[in-house]
Structure 1
Amino acid sequence: MYKKIITLLIIIQIFIFYFIYEQNTMETITYFPKDPHVTMAEASSVVELHNNKLQINVQSKTNTPVQLRQDVFIVFIHMYVKGIGNIWKENIDELTLKQSISITKNSTIDVLSYHYGEVVREETFTSIGKMSSTSSFFDGDTIRNRTTSNDEQIKKKYMHKMNSILQKLQIDPSLYHTFPLIDLPLYEHIPFPNMNQHDTDMIIGHLWEGLYKNYIIPMTEMKNLEKSLMPLILIDKNKEHLLVVYTLNGKEKILRQNLHPN
């Protein structure tokens, strides 16, 4: 009887660990400390015309297979969400994701992707993450790169809309360093204001975890994405927190993340 109980307890423990690991490797992005041995060897987001539609091509590859690979992307047209893509696979290094969406003449296009890998060694979890993005313009015949003046005009209109939202939410933008989500990949190479790159990378990893759970997943359950304005990132000048302000189905939302740089 005693041996049966011990055997049963062992089976239960194995099942619990398996369940936790399976839950962790489900369709999710979780920040863990950066893995020192795994790198994102390739990461790209490319758009092209295919059968009169906009085709988004997202691809990434780690230098070695890892326990979980996941890529997610968001397409913005005129700074509003137009489409979302997500793919995940276990014990693999390379992912390819393609999606087509309808597009009209004189459309501004922004695509932002996050390429993620989760590594497990002897029950120790680490992760790797990298962003890629592309910004372009569809004139009705071809897709071309936007000029600096185009970008300035687009962001000016965007910030006009966002300032109205900030005012409604009683958020004072002068207390923050602000930028639209599409600019986030810039900070893989330069740190946030008054921070170092190590802290910036850690904050970005946690930020994508929050965005995935609170922004991307809810949007996958929505029928109408086109009322969802691109998120605005606000980094507190006192380095205590950051805010993500966005809209879902026309409703204002705030995501808050505490900052604890070393």
Structure 2
Amino acid sequence: MFKKMNKHFYKIFFLSFTAAVILSFTSFSQWPFMNEVFIFFPEDEQVFFREAKTELDLLSKKDDDEYTLKWSFASETNKPAFLRKDMSILFDNGVFAGARKQSLKDQLFIEEAGTFEGEDSGRYNAVTFHHAELHYPEDIYKSKHTWSKDQLYVIDSPLTPLYSFKEAETEEDAQSKKILDSIIDQQMGYVLEGLLEEFQISAEDYHLFTLLDLPDYLNTPLPGLTEKETFAVLGRLWEGLYRYYILGINTFTEESYSPEGNSIPHILLHKEGTHLLVLYETKDGSRQQLLQMILKEEPASDQDD
């Protein structure tokens, strides 16, 4: 029956079912890493992050075209959590280059550091999801999360020694930044255009973001949503991103693939606040889509004394 359906209707139906599975994390496939998932629970308002940071730095030069970056992240909560998990994603010129995770139990502070081998001039972006899972008596589970990010430009030119910067301080820096940003933005725009066409989506119906924009909404609600709704949306979003985007699971076939080369995810929040879409393209050009329905917060009712 499904094979005879319109391709896009089938995808929407399948994704709606998949979204429900993502939110509940019941068994859906033979995925062997279910114990590694990030699970969203209601917000624990007694917990906050004292610190959350991501850092990218040029560590050393290997030869004329290659160099090593230091990629680190850390966070600290005000009270120990049953489970602390931090996951960081690195993008090299707008595509997925790798991910690092640290997971500890009954800890306040968590950190992780590693290296990445780069070559030629480029822009590197890292975004980290910092997560705390808390358990209380009577099977009460809560969570807290925050985000951090960093950006680094590495300039490898025959006219100057290899160097890096985060913010342009000179005219040369500004020009290099402009060129790299323009190339990456142009490619991201091209990818988004293909995704919208593939899934027959009208951009006018959505607020458009990329994954790199989401840390900016730590203290500001997403358009049309409350703070609590924003917290829940971003927490549930990460459940799906980890399973499908980072681990490399095809959103339509459930088949595994190497996620290296995935485009930066585009996040589309419907202007009516009913759902959001996560769109991205794999290295081989396969277009992927995740759907998350948004549970609206019930308005407080006015009652007479």
| TM-score bracket, shorter-length normalisation | 0.7 to 0.9
Q: 1:146 to 1:168 in 2, by over 3 A?
A: farther
Q: What residue is the counterpart of 1:117 in the other structure?
A: 132
1:46-85 paired onto structure 2 within 5 Å = 46-51=55-60, 52-85=67-100
2 CA distance for matches of 1:224 and 1:107?
20
1:183-194 paired onto structure 2 within 5 Å = 183-194=213-224
The answer on whether the counterparts of 1:25 and 1:68 sit within 8 Å (CA) in structure 2 is no
Q: Does 1:103 align with 2:133?
A: no
User: What do residues 132-185 of structure 1 show as CA deviations (whole Å, max 9, x unaligned)?
Assistant: 001221113222125597386233441222112221222221111111110111
**Correspondent of 1:142 among 146, 156, 163:** 163
The answer on whether the counterparts of 2:248 and 2:258 sit within 8 Å (CA) in structure 1 is no
Q: What residue is the counterpart of 1:257 in the other structure?
A: 292
Q: Does 1:169 align with 2:185?
A: no
1 CA distance for matches of 2:224 and 2:236?
18
The answer on whether the counterparts of 2:50 and 2:78 sit within 8 Å (CA) in structure 1 is yes
Runs of 4+ deviating beyond 4 Å: 146-149, 221-224
Q: What residue is the counterpart of 2:269 in the other structure?
A: 235
The answer on whether the counterparts of 2:280 and 2:288 sit within 8 Å (CA) in structure 1 is yes
1 CA distance for matches of 2:141 and 2:97?
34
Q: Does 1:128 align with 2:128?
A: no
The answer on whether the counterparts of 2:96 and 2:260 sit within 8 Å (CA) in structure 1 is yes
Letter paired with 1:128: K
Greater displacement, 112-121 / 156-165: 156-165
Q: What residue is the counterpart of 2:64 in the other structure?
A: none
Q: Secondary structure at 1:139's aligned position in 2?
A: strand
Q: Secondary structure at 2:228's aligned position in 1?
A: helix
Q: Give TM-score scaled by structure 1 length.
A: 0.84
| 1:35 to partner: Cα distance | 0.8
| 1:60 to partner: Cα distance | 0.9
Q: What residue is the counterpart of 1:214 in the other structure?
A: 244
1:82-97 paired onto structure 2 within 5 Å = 82-97=97-112
User: What do residues 40-85 of structure 1 show as CA deviations (whole Å, max 9, x unaligned)?
Assistant: 1111000112233111011111112111000101100111001111
Greater displacement, 70-79 / 241-250: 241-250
Task: For structure 2, list consecutive stretches of 5 or more residues without a partner in the other structure.
Answer: 1-32, 61-66, 157-161, 169-173, 250-255, 298-305
Q: Give TM-score scaled by structure 2 length.
A: 0.72
How many equivalent residue pairs?
A: 238
Q: 1:223 to 1:152 in 2, by over 3 A?
A: closer
| 1:222 to partner: Cα distance | 4.7
User: What do residues 227-257 of structure 1 show as CA deviations (whole Å, max 9, x unaligned)?
Assistant: x101000001121110000123431110000
Q: What residue is the counterpart of 1:10 in the other structure?
A: none
Task: For structure 1, list consecutive stretches of 5 or more residues without a partner in the other structure.
Answer: 1-23
